[in-house]
């Protein structure tokens, strides 16, 4: 009977002491509070419009870059891929400018960048939604870059590759192992995926001769059929016995890409162009098409940057 009376006391003591004893023998893996947020690295940015240098966190800078370089309405996984590509490009270019800053906001030298004011102007009433979306994509890929041989890669990107991206060697002469031609379907939804540019033959000939005085061009018969790369982009055109690179023709006539054909009719020259941009690296519209099909940002990056490693 007495033992029965003591049972409640035994259970009470066990309830109090057992958890304490257990902690003595189990590993203490779980922190008592969330880990502190690691301070982000800072980066100095030269604004080519204001001519000022500003120091900001990498995440704030990349938010402005992603907002400037890719439509915020794109799929989340495409925006994440853009964030990683932009971070990688930043690390590749960091310090390689003449403005006493890590990077600049001139897209022709580094990457485009939108300030908060410009984001508000561009997005209007959707500002809060798009800002939150872009920031999340930057933060969820925090610290991730693409490397090759343990070095940040030249993570270039473009709008639309015309169905196939271009080997870097076909555009810049130097072939990088991770910037090779790959299929890029689904870009056709892009604005001005197909475009045309027409001008009088006389103006065409004058433009060519100004850039290449040795060209003997008197009629359309002096313009040969373009030589194409494996991606279908124009490598060169023999004009007046002078081989003119497709990249130079694009620049001279302000074409949207080097994937074009030439037609001659009634004294006019017409360029029929497919895609937009230099065509090397990640196609942004192609990335968005992959994301719509359920591909992750890691799969997108692996496709467009062949052989590169995603490194944290």
Q: What is the pLDDT of residues 154-212, one digit of tens each?
A: 999 999 999 999 999 999 989 999 999 999 999 999 989 999 999 999 999 999 999 99
Integer-rounded Cα radius of gyration of the chain = 28
State the pLDDT at residue 21: 39
The predicted structure's pLDDT at residue 142: 97
Q: How high is the pLDDT of residue 203?
A: 97
| Ranges of the chain whose pLDDT falls below 50 | 1-39
Give residue 40's pLDDT. Answer: 64
Tokens (6 digits) for 161: 């590759």
pLDDT value for 97: 67
Q: What is the pLDDT of residue 312?
A: 87
Any idea where the domains of the chain sit in the sequence? 42-188+280-311, 194-274
| pLDDT one-digit tens code per residue, 94-122 | 867 667 899 999 998 899 999 999 999 99
């Amino acid at each position: 009977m007495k033992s029965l009376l003591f049972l409640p006391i035994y259970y009470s003591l066990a309830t109090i002491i057992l958890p304490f004893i257990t902690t003595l023998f189990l590993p203490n893996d779980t922190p008592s509070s969330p880990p502190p947020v690691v301070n982000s690295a800072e980066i100095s940015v030269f604004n080519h419009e204001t001519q000022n240098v500003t120091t900001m966190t990498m995440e704030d800078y990349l938010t402005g870059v992603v907002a400037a370089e890719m439509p915020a309405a794109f799929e989340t996984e495409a925006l994440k891929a853009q964030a990683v590509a932009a971070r990688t490009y930043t690390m590749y270019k960091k310090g390689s400018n003449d403005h006493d800053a890590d990077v600049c906001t001139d897209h022709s030298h580094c990457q485009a960048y939108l300030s908060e004011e410009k984001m508000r102007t561009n997005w209007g009433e959707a500002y809060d939604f798009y800002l939150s979306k872009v920031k999340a994509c930057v933060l969820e890929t925090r610290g991730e870059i693409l490397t090759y041989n343990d070095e940040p890669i030249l993570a270039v990107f473009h709008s639309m590759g015309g169905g196939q991206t271009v080997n870097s060697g076909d555009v810049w002469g130097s072939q990088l192992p991770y910037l090779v031609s790959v299929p890029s379907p689904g870009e056709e939804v892009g604005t001005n995926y197909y475009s045309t540019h027409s001008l009088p033959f006389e103006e065409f000939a004058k433009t060519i001769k100004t850039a290449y005085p040795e060209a003997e061009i008197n009629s359309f018969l002096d313009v040969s059929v373009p030589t194409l790369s494996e991606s279908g982009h124009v490598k060169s055109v023999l004009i007046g016995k002078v081989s003119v690179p497709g990249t130079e023709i694009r620049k001279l006539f302000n074409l949207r890409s080097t994937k074009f054909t030439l037609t001659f009719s009634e004294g006019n020259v017409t360029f029929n162009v497919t895609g937009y941009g230099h065509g090397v690296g990640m196609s942004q519209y192609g990335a968005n098409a992959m994301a719509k099909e359920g591909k992750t940002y890691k799969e997108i990056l692996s496709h467009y940057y062949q052989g590169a490693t995603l490194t944290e």
